[in-house]
Amino acid sequence: MASPSVYQLSTHIIRQTGHKCTASVILLHGSGGTGDDLRDTFRYLLREDLCFPHIRILYPTAPVRPYSLADGMPSSVWFDRVNLGLNSVEQKISTDAMAKQLGQLVDAEVKSGIPLHRIVIGGFSMGGAMALHLGYRFHKKIAGVIAIGSFLPNDSAVYQDLEQVKAADTTLPLLTQIHGEADELVNFLWGRNTFDRLCSLGVKGEFTAVPNLGHFLNRTVTISLREKILKLLPEEHSL
């Protein structure tokens, strides 16, 4: 289902299969992709849509913009990158601008009756990095963050913001991080470093290393994703 006009971003929505929606998941694609691409990937791997009796799934698409990492060529990316690696410099202006746009999705879900603690934000690759910004800088009361094949550079604003709230009695979203040990684009150790630093700043969660997995999604990871979502957002009668 296409998005309602309330959203600035083109957003594909998969409705809950049951009568009542009590939770929402926002899933963000990787650089150069679209929300439809990510939905289709999950559908291909599962042989059915990623769907739940009580959860609405939202697949927004990033706007097309010049992407420095691709020599300025237009690409659908959540934020700009000049280079790739732990020592790369985060482009905070573009990250924060996109967080504001994606925040409209979160606000719309809350207005529809879904409380923040029943919302999960996740993504693959760059989408996972964007999810980390949303969950640990802008929407700290959501249920969880899921990042697959993702990392943050050492100077990330996520770490800086968490340093400021570290001493406070703040409950942060639970983190689920999944990374292929054979990832040829986003080095496995970059993902592990990100997880360890987040945990040192008060984030709680789990890191799953997937043997022989490169920088892509497979059926095992997708089934695991479905299980993680249900764990974070169980049906209300199971609470």
Residue 151's CATH number? 3.40.50.1820
**Taking the CB of residue 199, how many other CB atoms lie within 10 A of it?**
15
- Predicted confidence at residue 9, as pLDDT, reads 86
- Predicted confidence at residue 171, as pLDDT, reads 87
> What separation, in Å, do the N-terminal and C-terminal C-alpha atoms of the chain show?
29
Q: Considering its fold, how many domains does the chain have in total?
A: 1
* Selection from 228, 133, 154 nearest residue 196 by Cα: 154
Catalytic site residues?
A: 125, 183, 215
- The verdict on residue 237 lying in a domain is no
Query: What value does the mean pLDDT take over residues 203-209?
Result: 97
Indicate the Cα dihedral angle 209, 186, 128, 194, nearest 10°.
70
- The verdict on residue 209 lying in a domain is yes
- The verdict on residue 2 lying in a domain is no
- The verdict on residue 5 lying in a domain is no
- The verdict on residue 6 lying in a domain is no
Q: What length is written for the chain? A: 239
- Comparing 4-18, 142-156, 168-182, 184-198, the range with the smallest average pLDDT is 4-18
- Predicted confidence at residue 6, as pLDDT, reads 47
Dihedrals φ, ψ of 210, to 5°?
Answer: -110, 110
- The verdict on residue 105 lying in a domain is yes
Q: Residue 236 — pLDDT band, cuts 50, 70, 90?
A: confident
Q: Residue 2 — pLDDT band, cuts 50, 70, 90?
A: very low
With contact defined as beta carbons under 8 Å apart, do 177 and 208 qualify? yes
- The verdict on residue 131 lying in a domain is yes
- The verdict on residue 3 lying in a domain is no
Range of the domain at 57: 11-232
Backbone φ/ψ region at 190: left (φ over 0), alpha (ψ -120 to 50), beta? alpha
Which class for 186: exposed (0-12), middle (13-18), buried (19 or more C-beta within 10 A)?
buried
The structure's pTM equals 0.94
- Predicted confidence at residue 5, as pLDDT, reads 42
Which class for 27: exposed (0-12), middle (13-18), buried (19 or more C-beta within 10 A)?
buried
Query: What value does the mean pLDDT take over residues 71-87?
Result: 95
Q: Residue 165 — pLDDT band, cuts 50, 70, 90?
A: confident
Which of residues 4 and 111 earns the better pLDDT score?
A: 111
Computed over every residue of the chain, the mean pLDDT equals 94
* pLDDT tens digits, one per residue of 105-140: 999 999 999 999 999 999 999 999 999 999 999 999
